[in-house]
Chains A and B, each alone.
Chain A
């Protein structure tokens, strides 16, 4: 069962536009929702993370919004640039229990065209 559903699988956006990636979470126990950015041949790097008691978090051009009742979050990239071209993953984990682990979505390949 896929607990973290991510869409779209791929996305092409013109330079300067807004990129939007969505995630839906099946497990109501999840309480930590990070987003990762991965460039080809590299490991993922944490981009931004949010807790369910916060509805929005912004870091520069990157914003996460979170809808607790709908169990969904979205990543918005404003003024998208060619350097933003990468694969983006949403993820989620349970509260700290000594046995926590991250569950990832399937990823979105973002391409920013001039």
Chain B
């Protein structure tokens, strides 16, 4: 089945630790995106990538890092510099030049 797979579904992090959220897609999409969702704030763009080995900062990139070494994969690292990392993280992908985005099921990150 084609789709976007995010893992893990739930993640707990101690303060001061870096954690990496996985996002894999087999839709052959060029573009991939990471969004953060907080109650009452909608979806805010963290990073996006239109092509392998290239990515751009979104609106709230501070405290996050990404890589795009393969077309299928776009992992997100939440670093210790992110002061309020507890949130629901969503990965999405789309064909380049088209913004019909398909979303994964999300990863809920909690700082303990």
Contacts and interface: CB of A to CB of B under 8 A. Distances in A.
Majority DSSP secondary structure for residues of B touching A: strand
Contact of A9 (B40, B48, B103): B40
A99 B56 contact: yes
B100 A46 contact: yes
Interface of B: 4, 6, 31, 33, 35, 40-45, 48, 50, 56, 58, 90, 92, 96-106, 108
B92 to A, nearest CB: 8
A34 interface: yes
B106 A43 contact: yes
Given A34-B100, A101-B58, A42 B42 contact: no
A42 B37 CA distance: 11
B90 A44 contact: yes
Interface residues of A, number: 25
Given A99-B56, A101-B58, A89 B42 contact: yes
B40 A43 contact: no
B50 A49 contact: no
Nearest to B9: A41
A102 interface: yes
Contacts of A46: 100-102
